[in-house]
Amino acid sequence: METLTREAILAADDLPREAVDVPEWGGRIWVRALTAGERETWETRYLGTDEAASPASRIRASLAVFACCDEAGKPLFTEADVPALAGKSAAAVLRIWRIAARLNGLGEERETLEKN
C-alpha cells in the first residue's frame, strides 16, 4: 500500500454520496457522508452531549440537513433549516436518515436513535 502525503490526503474526495429518489418531494436528491467536523457538530448539538442540544425529535431532520447535497457535494441546507425539514414528510426524512446513517457509519447508533 502506498504511503500518503499530506497533499494527497487533503485532496482526496473521501465523502461518498448517493442519489436518493424522494417521491414525496417529486424528485431526487443526493446524500453524502459528513466531514469529521460536521459529525462532531451534529453529535454535540443533536445527540444531547451539549447542554443546549436540540430536541431529540429533530435528530433525523438534523442529520438530513447535514447530509443532503447537490450532485457536486455542496450542502442543500443550513442548520437554520432543521425546523422546516422536521415539518416535512416523515417517510422522506426517514429514507434520507437511513442512507445518511449508513454512509456515516452510524450502524448500531442508528438503531438506538431510531428507538428513541
Domains of the chain: total: 1
Cell of 60: 433525523
Is residue 2 one of the residues assigned to a domain?
Answer: no
Write the CATH number for 92: 3.30.2220.20
Q: Rounded to whole angstroms, how far apart are CA atoms 87 and 75?
A: 19
Cα–Cα distance between 99 and 42 in angstroms, integer? 16
Residue 70: inside a domain: yes
Range of the domain at 57: 15-115
pTM: 0.82
Residue 90 lies in a domain: yes
In a domain, 31, yes or no: yes
- 83: in domain: yes
Q: Is the pLDDT of residue 115 over 70?
A: no
Provide, rounded to the nearest whole percent, the portion of the chain with pLDDT above 90: 76
Spatial separation of the C-alpha atoms in residues 74 and 91, rounded to whole Å? 23
Is residue 53 one of the residues assigned to a domain? yes
CA atoms within 13 A on the CB side of 89: 9
Is 5 contained in some domain?
no
* Structure confidence by residue, pLDDT tens digits, 54-82: 555 589 999 999 999 999 999 999 999 99
